[in-house]
Structure 1
Amino acid sequence: MLSVLLSLNLSHLGLWASGLILVLGFLKLIHLLLRRRMLARAMDSFPGPPTHWLFGHALEIQKTGSLDKVVSWAHQFPYAHPLWLGQFLGFLNIYEPDYVKAVYSRGDPKAADVYDFFLQWIGKGLLVLHGPKWYEHRKLLTPGFHYDVLKPYVAVFNNSTHAMLDKWEEKAREDKSFDIFCDVGHMALDSLMKCTFGKGNSGLSHRDNSYYLAVSDLTLLMQQRIESFQYHNDFIYWLTPHGRRFLRACQEAHDHTEFQPPFRQRMGPQAVTLSAPGPDQVIRERKAALQDEKEQEKIQNRRHLDFLDILLGARDESGIKLSDADLRAEVDTFMFEGHDTTTSGISWFLYCMALYPEHQSRCREEVCEILGDRDSFQWDDLGKMTYLTMCIKESLRLYPPVPQVYRQLSKPVNFVDGRSLPAGSLISLHIYALHRNSSVWPDSEVFDPLRFTPENVATRHPFAFMPFSAGPSIFMFLAGGGLAESFQEKPPNQNSQCESTRSGTLTVLPRSVACVQVNQLISQLSIHK
């Protein structure tokens, strides 16, 4: 009797649970339909390309490549057009400077529909934060990037760059094209490890290489998730093979920041390799060390402070510091953003130098004149590289490391042509299309560094060039300059299997590999093959 009652109760419980799931699913569907209706009405005055009944524009983007496809749409629809990723996520995709100014001169929050995808990976750092919390973190971190703080890092960047050039010296003897993206990525990661945690000059460990592969995997998975509407729901995504792969890659990336490169401790005749403590313990130990006056003096007298030291010392006017959770999020954010965008920017710059040897020659002449008989750059040299800087900016125009960013309007916006959007609308700033807008950049597909002479910059719209939200990376000057002095880059040879097509939503990545043929220079004018 008892078993019969129990089975009846379980049966009723199952029915109630099924009914609850159906009701919740129905309410979620109603919410999505109402939101779609609101977004569609908001963009009624903006014509755009036809949409698929289920996938929106996502299917065509995945088939043809998002970057060049959006550029072709930008030629058809001046100023802006609707961009639907599935049926429930719609953005107004903008790529005209006055439209960009109307939105990005304000303080609208980042679109949670996209940026919340990052939370599992990097937590609530500057990339994800918005509003007062963002300003609070930004204010605390800004002193750490003052020129006087950055100057000592030039030697660190030089060392990492020279290590990469040593590898390329060996590869140059083979007279073959090779993928530069991986080597540049390792160089950027090595620099970041030294800057973030005070890593020594021992080179990249197996764990560092695992982190590099994990970040590459996470970037591609994130791009795929943004463009695939069926992955937008967290619950569904974590159940898919792609979602589980994303979680595994997140764990790999977190293991890297949680456990610093092993250190060795002598115990009698045996040397035992120990894993360094996790970030929470590292933070506690660093905080304890800063309480000791001798240890604090030792840290302050170092040639340069690492990023974690700077974060620990940051405080506002009231003396409030970042919490341990905030510290970890900012370290993870710094590692991702500093590594990924720098790798993309340098790789495409070097590829441009390989394609346009006349500009490469002028950069080399400028760099050789500045260096003289020295083999490394100093801080004061950076401001003297005027032509190299123009070439870097032109490369960033054609291949911006961050091709697209998203906002959600907190209040209505009126555009220069009289059209408007209500509060709650979603905006996509397509930087890649903005930089190839032919009404702003004549012959926009042509590589022309003279676009960035002081005279041309002065007459250009201030929102026409936006490669980074916080300015170019100093890595690019050092790596590009070092190569200009030591090597000649050439396009891939005809027998190479390399591709140079672009893809990406988070960063502009080579669809296959970005290859150049590197020849070492035995003098300023002769080439050794």
Structure 2
Amino acid sequence: MAPGNITVKDDLVYNHLRPWLGHSLLISNGKEWARKRRLLTPAFHFDILKNYITTFNTSTNTIMLTDGKTNIEMFNDVTLMTLDSLLKCAFSYNSNCQESTSEYVSAIVELSDLILNRRLRIWHHWDWIYWRTQQGRRFKKALSIVHRFTREVVQKRRTIINHQRMTESQPDLSTAGQRRKDFVDIILSSKDEDGQGLTNEEVEAEANTFMFAGHDTTASAICWTLYNLAHHDHYQEKCRQEVMDLLQGRDEHEIEWEDLSNLPFTTMCIRESLRLHSPVQAVTRKYTQDMLLPGNRTVPKGVICLVSLYGTHHNPAVWSNPHEFYPLRFDPNNTSGRSASAFIPFSAGPRNCIGQKFALAELRVVVALTLLRFHLAPGVNPEVGSISGDVRRLPQLVLRAEGGLWLQLEPLNVSGLV
């Protein structure tokens, strides 16, 4: 049996996502998963990701408008920023959600909260109970908003693509070149080896998954990276100097695609933060057959196994001083001999995160521009009234912090770069 068929996504953990995400790549198994993975892979090719860098810059510049506030709880603002970026990258849609209320964005946030709430209440695991509860009714209302938005975008885009195919000999110059292709454009155009593409319903499911899986995880990674740098000023200054050297003499202080490979120390800090504070704390799989392990042990068919990413990343047998923030662990000179399975923030194997290059690109842009404009220091939680030290991790759908992550953002003068 092929490796991808030995384990499958289990219903216990993933079933609550089906009303929202359908049979998308995240939830599907077997041949269905393999086909969708092949069809979606072009959407995350480097040539496509390059087009998103401008969007990352624009969305980050918006979050920099702090309205004079210096003590900020980062999760809310950064989550709106990643949603803003994803809406532009997925749908070419400018929601302005960082500056004003968006019905769609509010519905996305509510769905995420309600899924977590449902997981924590065992009696809500049964549909015939859940859909009769107040939370179930709220879920359906938010779901209708999200699905309606996605359905309308996909249907309109499909109509445009079909029209363009019919009139290829007479291109409509009035609409040509108005925007770059986004996520929906690319997956609508993808074909398998039999010349078949995804249906509208399948495209909607993948677009919804892109929004669900991409906003919270990336927001968590950004917030914890900034938190760690705020608590380690010498590393923060080294990152900032790296960014300033990179942008020296430019009229525009924007990160370009070619810059991403020229931020080695900043990237080390991001990777170390992903190790120390992985946005996803664990992954689960159900075995479809008995699995023989070393030591003559067997995992029986039907068992659900949980792989602790937190445990893997804090294993003292692999990582010395595992609770210490030490970016130089990821210096190429220090990684030889380390197992590829020691660092798995995006999971591993054939079912690793298809969007990890997208996430890492956005992380580097946001962290670099934030450090260019602000000095970061530990903030004050108003409810506690004191400067935050070590915070308690709060594992929800993604890793958050109990009471929030509060940082002091002190504006810097970057005019000297020019």
The interval holding the TM-score normalised by the smaller chain is 0.7 to 0.9
**Residues 77 and 98 in structure 2, CA contact (< 8 A), matched pair in contact too:** no
Does residue 345 of the first structure (1) align with residue 221 of the second (2)?
yes
> Which residue of the partner structure matches residue 60 of structure 1?
none
Does residue 291 of the first structure (1) align with residue 185 of the second (2)?
no
**Residues 149 and 304 in structure 1, CA contact (< 8 A), matched pair in contact too:** no
The counterpart of 1:441, out of the listed 290, 305, 319, is 319
> Which residue of the partner structure matches residue 24 of structure 2?
125
> Which residue of the partner structure matches residue 138 of structure 1?
37
Instruction: Report Cα offsets for 1:186-241 as digits up to 9, x if no partner.
Output: 211121121112225x7338996333333333223222333432222111222223
Instruction: Report Cα offsets for 1:144-191 as digits up to 9, x if no partner.
Output: 2111122122112111111211x13x33xx4x4111212211211121
Does residue 253 of the first structure (1) align with residue 150 of the second (2)?
no
2:223 and 2:174 mapped to 1: Cα distance? 38
The counterpart of 1:164, out of the listed 63, 73, 77, is 63
**Residues 375 and 410 in structure 2, CA contact (< 8 A), matched pair in contact too:** yes
Does residue 177 of the first structure (1) align with residue 75 of the second (2)?
no
2:322 and 2:78 mapped to 1: Cα distance? 27
**Residues 63 and 98 in structure 2, CA contact (< 8 A), matched pair in contact too:** no
> Which residue of the partner structure matches residue 14 of structure 1?
none
* CA deviation after TM superposition for structure 1 residue 433, in Å: 2.2
Instruction: Report Cα offsets for 1:75-112 as digits up to 9, x if no partner.
Output: xxxxxxxxxxxxxxxxxxxxxxxxxxxx9887511112
1:231 and 1:478 mapped to 2: Cα distance? 40
The counterpart of 1:243, out of the listed 125, 131, 136, is 136
Distance 1:373 1:208, change over 3 A: farther
**Residues 229 and 376 in structure 2, CA contact (< 8 A), matched pair in contact too:** yes
Distance 1:457 1:433, change over 3 A: same
Unaligned runs of 5+ in 1: 1-102, 259-276
* CA deviation after TM superposition for structure 1 residue 508, in Å: 1.0
> Which residue of the partner structure matches residue 181 of structure 2?
305
* CA deviation after TM superposition for structure 1 residue 121, in Å: 1.1
Residues 386-405 of structure 1: pairs in structure 2 closer than 5 A? 386-405=264-283
**Residues 152 and 303 in structure 1, CA contact (< 8 A), matched pair in contact too:** no
Distance 1:504 1:256, change over 3 A: farther
Where 1:424 maps in the other structure, the secondary structure is coil
Does residue 425 of the first structure (1) align with residue 303 of the second (2)?
yes
1:279 and 1:137 mapped to 2: Cα distance? 17
> Which residue of the partner structure matches residue 484 of structure 1?
371
- Which amino acid in the other structure matches residue 482 of structure 1? L
**Residues 230 and 377 in structure 2, CA contact (< 8 A), matched pair in contact too:** yes
1:236 and 1:462 mapped to 2: Cα distance? 44
Identity %: 33
Q: Give 1 or 2 for the bigger CA radius of gyration.
A: 1
**Residues 340 and 507 in structure 1, CA contact (< 8 A), matched pair in contact too:** yes
2:14 and 2:182 mapped to 1: Cα distance? 28
Does residue 516 of the first structure (1) align with residue 407 of the second (2)?
yes
* CA deviation after TM superposition for structure 1 residue 388, in Å: 0.3
Instruction: Report Cα offsets for 1:265-295 as digits up to 9, x if no partner.
Output: xxxxxxxxxxxx4643443344334433255
> Which residue of the partner structure matches residue 84 of structure 2?
190
Where 1:239 maps in the other structure, the secondary structure is coil
> Which residue of the partner structure matches residue 450 of structure 1?
328
Does residue 502 of the first structure (1) align with residue 402 of the second (2)?
no
* CA deviation after TM superposition for structure 1 residue 332, in Å: 0.6
* TM-score after normalising by structure 2: 0.87
Where 2:288 maps in the other structure, the secondary structure is coil
Instruction: Report Cα offsets for 1:293-319 as digits up to 9, x if no partner.
Output: 255888774562111110111001221
Distance 1:206 1:379, change over 3 A: closer
- Which amino acid in the other structure matches residue 217 of structure 1? E
2:271 and 2:58 mapped to 1: Cα distance? 24
Distance 1:466 1:447, change over 3 A: same
> Which residue of the partner structure matches residue 349 of structure 2?
none
1:505 and 1:418 mapped to 2: Cα distance? 36
Instruction: Report Cα offsets for 1:380-417 as digits up to 9, x if no partner.
Output: 11011110000000111122122222111012222334
**Residues 287 and 312 in structure 1, CA contact (< 8 A), matched pair in contact too:** no
**Residues 214 and 253 in structure 1, CA contact (< 8 A), matched pair in contact too:** yes
Please tell me the root mean square deviation across aligned C-alpha atoms, in Å: 2.6
2:148 and 2:233 mapped to 1: Cα distance? 42
Does residue 150 of the first structure (1) align with residue 60 of the second (2)?
no
Residues 96-135 of structure 1: pairs in structure 2 closer than 5 A? 107-135=6-34
Where 1:246 maps in the other structure, the secondary structure is helix
- Which amino acid in the other structure matches residue 372 of structure 1? Q
Does residue 324 of the first structure (1) align with residue 215 of the second (2)?
no
Residues 349-388 of structure 1: pairs in structure 2 closer than 5 A? 349-374=225-250, 375-388=253-266
1:295 and 1:157 mapped to 2: Cα distance? 31
Where 2:8 maps in the other structure, the secondary structure is coil
Moved more, 428-437 or 483-492: 428-437
Distance 1:496 1:484, change over 3 A: farther
- Which amino acid in the other structure matches residue 464 of structure 1? A
Where 1:149 maps in the other structure, the secondary structure is helix
2:171 and 2:313 mapped to 1: Cα distance? 49
2:78 and 2:262 mapped to 1: Cα distance? 24
Instruction: Report Cα offsets for 1:316-358 as digits up to 9, x if no partner.
Output: 1221111111011011111111212111111111111111111
Where 2:63 maps in the other structure, the secondary structure is helix
* Aligned residues between the structures: 399
- Which amino acid in the other structure matches residue 394 of structure 1? E
* TM-score after normalising by structure 1: 0.70
Where 1:428 maps in the other structure, the secondary structure is strand
Where 2:249 maps in the other structure, the secondary structure is coil
Moved more, 115-124 or 453-462: 453-462
> Which residue of the partner structure matches residue 106 of structure 2?
213
2:76 and 2:44 mapped to 1: Cα distance? 27
- Which amino acid in the other structure matches residue 106 of structure 2? L
- Which amino acid in the other structure matches residue 73 of structure 2? D
* CA deviation after TM superposition for structure 1 residue 511, in Å: 3.1
